[in-house]
A and B are shown apart, each in its own frame.
Chain A
Amino acid sequence: MYLSSLLLLPLIGSAVIAALPAGRTLLAKQIALGTSVLTALLGIVMALQFDRTLGTFQFVESHEWITSFGVKYGLGIDGTGLVLILMALILAPIVILASWNEGQGGRFSQKAFFALLLILETFMVGVFAATDVFLFYVFFEAMLIPVYFLIGSFGGPNRSYAAVKFLLYSLLGGLLMLAAVIGLYVLTKSQFGAPTFDVTELGALNIDQNLQRWLFLGFFIAFAIKAPMWPLHTWLPDAASAATPGTAILLIGVLDKVGTYGMIRYCLPLFPEASHYFAPTIVVLAVISIIYGAILAIGQKDLKRLIAFTSISHFGFIVLGIFAMTSTAGAGATLYMFNHGFSTAALFMVAGWMISRRNSSKISDFGGLQRVTPVMAWMFFIAGMSSLALPGLASFISEVLVLVGAYQTYPVAAIISTVAIVLAALYILIVVQRSLHGPIAPGNESLPDLTTRERVAIAPVIAIIIFLGFVPSVLLNVINPTVSHTLMQVNATDPTPTAGE
């Protein structure tokens, strides 16, 4: 019942907040924070009971839901699911704390902002915990509604446009996926005699090659829009720069992971032949995303857009790791998802505080922050270093694992992708230099440094980034059995090294 409780808790919190009388903003915030902390603690308790030796689903719950369609309310997590749920659960209270005042000036009350955040938390857990494709689809689509209102009601000047663009992109992808889900439904109905959406049973389907490729594309395009991959990424910079920093963290840090998670959970195991068939093409697209995102990040003048483009580059790495189909790259990709969540969160949090203090998101408006607000500047620096994968910080391990793993199957792609490491150094160091160092830009002389609340919010993020930089095995031990299980389902074996040392 762990997973159902994780789904239910935030929902209850959200209902309580919605029922509060108008004006009780502080109480609403406290309830939101309390609920999310409680949920996170429950998640950690669950994680401690997770059996790390298994690659299959644990904490399984299954109840009939729509029997006519064979739909079950099926929940369960493997290593990948656990890692992503933990990420979502830990980020939620941090985001709430970091965006304590963000709901101000929105179209609706701050109460609504926090109620929506908690609803979103429920859907985030649901989408990673669903073991029924139909249930996954329901969460996948339902998630759009709170995000849409979070962007559209509380974001910056361009929020309405960005929210609609985000929603339409996602709906288009979702509906293509729906077509593929319908395809699966009809297949199970004819092959098993009764329809089912249970992922553990769907692997046994015998899908004709041609159909398999179409169904794969239906799922993959939806996930590629979510992830987002070049050339389906254009909604992300708009959405990220229009959203409040808190929303942006959840959007890029957690929601976009649904795309890459979906590739691991559904594309690979359900359509092994098609995965192999499309892998080279997808690897090329991933490499383009990596390089393209990095180059565009260098050219950005807006702080939030810059972070959005770095994420496109990072998602390229994750997709490369997934479709390289080696155990090293696969583990690296999953670890990368977790790490990217936290380094992006750190970047967006500090960027958000910088922007709200300066009332501008232009990089050129900052300068010399190192002297005015040393703590904030250091935090930004560490977050940036994690983003460029400095050894000793979390992202380094995952990036190296992806590159080493990808080299085994796609050496050229791996070599080209290493260029992005240099580009990453450029885009991060340029923004660090322009905003933190140099003469104090006019208007920045009296910016206040981080408050206690902000320090409390960012401390765990930085701690996780540093901790995982040194002890990645905590997570890798959980991830590895799952990755081997997935690779087995997709019939991929690690290439044996050609020559020993």
Chain B
Amino acid sequence: MNFVAPVINYSQVLPILIVLGTALLGVIVEAFFARERRYQIQVPLSIAGLVAAFVWILKIRATTAITAESSVAIDGPALVLQGAIVILGIAGLLLIAERKLDSSGDAFVAQAAAIPGSEAERTATLAKLTQTEVFPLTLFAIAGMMLFPAANDLVTMFVALEVLSLPLYLMSGLARRRRLLSQEAALKYFLLGAFSSAFFLYGAAFLYGYSGSVGFRQIRQAIQTNAGNDVLLLIGIALVSVGLLFKVSAVPFHSWTPDVYQGAPTPVTAFMAACTKIAAFGAFARLFYVGLSGARWDWRPMLTVIAIATMVLGVLWALTQTDIKRMLAYSSVAHSGFILTGIVATNKAGLSGTLFYLVTYGFTTIGAFAIVTLVRNASGEATHISGYAGLGKRSPWIAMLLSLFLLGLAGIPLTSGFVAKFAVFSAAYESGSTILVIFGVLTSAIAAFFYIRLIVLMFFQDPDENGPTVAAVPLMTTAAIALCATVTLVLGILPNALLHVIDAASRFVF
């Protein structure tokens, strides 16, 4: 029996390999260096790895190819999303690496394995231990996220899904303060995530049964030639969708989102809110536009209903929240609905609109969560929205920046969110889904209410005497916020360049 080596074009998957390699180096650093030195090595190492990955993505930007035995597709959408994930990963990493905000070190627990309230935990906390395992974990997650939108068959997609999810489950449980809430979040995320992965895998099996292959091209051909049993196809689509809709937190698979966003350390929340959504929607688009495009008349009605439910329920729940992290979590649910309108459009404008939306959404979200890490009282971050009263008086710059991000999320003109909304809504209208545009517009109006309520609180109410304050903003957080604010403004006023790049890139290879 002959063994044929798989053909892999290493240049095309190099960005993913660089990030994975850096993550492994990070593990080695954890093993071989003294605790005090690890932080100084991990931070520059991780950032250098991500920068190198980004440079390579720029170098291969014109690639359109299927490689690694048809399991990975490197094309316009994949590269755009990988680029966005890497840049946002850097922003997220800067927040994760910030150690000047919390008096006891960073946002992460001194000893993750210690039971909350136990003697071991107290000892570790008193010793002011700080850990650095979060850096390789983040890089593993980023590598998974980069592979996810490039995965060209169901098995690779599943592997990518797990590679990105497992580190995130862990990272959610690492919050230094409010340990129980954090561990609860991690457990919920893990259990529900495991279920959704199982659904995905089960669906993949059905699609395999239908088409005789897990490759997207083969599934596509099977649908075009109507080769298999439609029942298998429909069950397969439904189950695979569950797995992916869970990751993008679409209603009714969103229920983990608020708990996890709230419980996870805020830098991790920022990172995962932005990057997971990008990766998952990228995978979503590839599966539905490439693999399942022939069955679009079967899945479009389903996704239309889910998009409407996600928009409507997302904004309604967000209205009732009193914790800013939960509010942003529900707002992220609503945004999934908006992005789904782009996916449902199933035209080129829909794909480019979705890509543009994902990029802009990532930056505004990380920016907003970065501000959340700054507003603190004696016991850590003050996430109750009443703590934001009068922020405009105390720290006008911080309040203005948060307002910018909120206006961007609300989609007010001259911010990137508006251009993005216009892009997805016009694509949906073009495809005949007028109903989605109407719901999109109405829910945007409701969404504006809770974003603006926070702005009102910051600017038009008096600060509480003992309320939280914003200390001097340290360097790395400043860099992350400045990056996000610049992108939000520039893409709002001069979106032309990015729109062109994305327009040119909006073609899947198959």
Q: Which A residues contact B (CB, under 8 angstroms)? A: 64-69, 107-108, 137-138, 141-142, 144-145, 149, 152-153, 159-160, 163-164, 167-168, 171-172, 175-176, 178-179, 182-183, 185-186, 189-190
Contact = CB atoms under 8 A, between A and B. Distances in A.
A476 B479 CA distance: 56
A144 B452 CA distance: 12
B437 interface: yes
A145 B412 contact: yes
A152 B426 contact: no
Given A152-B459, A175-B444, A137 B437 contact: no
A69 B352 CA distance: 12
A82 B426 CA distance: 32
A302 B78 CA distance: 62
13 contacts: A66-B495, A68-B495, A68-B496, A137-B413, A141-B418, A145-B412, A152-B460, A164-B452, A168-B449, A171-B445, A182-B429, A182-B437, A189-B430
B503 interface: yes
Among B441, B442, B449, chain A packs the most CB atoms within 10 A around the CB of B441
Contacts of A172: 445
Contact of B413 (A138, A176, A179): A138
Contacts of A68: 352, 495-496, 499-500, 503
Given A67-B499, A182-B422, 13 more contacts: A64-B496, A68-B499, A68-B500, A69-B423, A138-B414, A153-B459, A164-B456, A167-B452, A168-B448, A175-B441, A175-B442, A179-B438, A189-B430
A186 B352 CA distance: 16
A178 B442 CA distance: 11
A262 to B, nearest CB: 16
Interface in B427-457: 429-430, 437-438, 441-442, 444-445, 448-449, 452-453, 456
Given A65-B496, A182-B437, A175 B445 contact: yes
Contact of B441 (A144, A149, A152, A176): A176
Contacts of A186: 426, 429-430
A246 B430 CA distance: 44
A64 B419 CA distance: 16
B425 interface: yes
B430 A142 contact: no
Interface string B389-433: 000110010000000000100001110001101110110011000
A63 to B, nearest CB: 11
B452 A168 contact: yes
B417 to A, nearest CB: 12
Interface of A is mostly: helix
Interface in B131-162: none
Contact of A179 (B407, B414, B437, B452): B437
A138 B437 CA distance: 19
B461 interface: yes
Contact of A107 (B393, B419, B425): B393
The 10 closest A-B pairs by CB, nearest first: A68-B499, A138-B413, A160-B460, A141-B413, A175-B441, A179-B441, A172-B445, A182-B426, A186-B430, A175-B445
Nearest to A65: B496
Given A68-B499, A168-B449, A182-B422, A153 B460 contact: yes
Contacts of B448: 167-168, 171
Given A137-B413, A171-B448, A160 B461 contact: yes
Contacts of B444: 175
Contacts of B418: 138, 141
B386 to A, nearest CB: 15
A178 B411 CA distance: 11
Contacts of B437: 179, 182
Contacts of A152: 456, 459-460
B441 A66 contact: no
Contact of A141 (B412, B438, B441, B499): B412
A164 B412 CA distance: 15
Nearest to B498: A68
Most A-side CB within 10 Å, residue of B352, B452, B453: B452
Interface in B475-510: 495-496, 499-500, 503
Centre residue among B419, B426, B438, B449 by max chain A CB count within 10 A: B426
A172 B447 CA distance: 11
B426 A66 contact: no
Contacts of A178: 421-422, 425, 441
A152 B460 CA distance: 7
A66 B412 contact: no
B451 to A, nearest CB: 10
Contacts of B423: 69
Interface string B60-97: 00000000000000000000000000000000000000
Contact of B496 (A67, A160, A183): A67
Contacts of B461: 160
Nearest to A67: B496
A277 B79 CA distance: 51
Contacts of B393: 107
A149 B459 contact: yes
Given A66-B499, A68-B496, A179-B438, A107 B452 contact: no
Nearest to A211: B434
Contacts of A153: 459-460
B309 to A, nearest CB: 20
Contact of A142 (B392, B413, B438): B413
B456 A160 contact: yes
A408 B396 CA distance: 57
A153 B459 CA distance: 8
A432 B102 CA distance: 64
A164 B426 CA distance: 28
A407 B499 CA distance: 52
Contacts of A66: 419, 495-496, 499
Contacts of B500: 67-68
A15 to B, nearest CB: 15
A161 to B, nearest CB: 9
Interface string B309-334: 00000000000000000000000000
Interface centre among A144, A168, A178, A190 (most CB of B within 10 A): A178
Contacts of A190: 430
Contacts of A164: 452-453, 456
Contacts of A189: 430
Contacts of A183: 429
B460 A163 contact: yes
B460 A159 contact: yes
Between A141, A142, A171, the greatest number of chain B beta carbons within 10 A of the residue's beta carbon is seen for A171
Contacts of B495: 66, 68
B298 to A, nearest CB: 25
Contacts of B460: 107, 152-153, 159-160, 163
Contacts of A142: 412-414
A189 B414 CA distance: 23
Interface string B242-276: 00000000000000000000000000000000000
Contact of B422 (A67, A69, A145): A69
A7 to B, nearest CB: 14
Contacts of A171: 445, 448
Contacts of A182: 422, 425-426, 429, 437
A176 B437 CA distance: 10
Contacts of A149: 459
Interface string B4-26: 00000000000000000000000
A64 to B, nearest CB: 8
Contacts of B452: 164, 167-168
A149 B459 CA distance: 9
B459 to A, nearest CB: 7
Nearest to B460: A160
Contacts of B419: 66
A149 to B, nearest CB: 7
A335 to B, nearest CB: 31
A495 to B, nearest CB: 38
Nearest to A149: B459
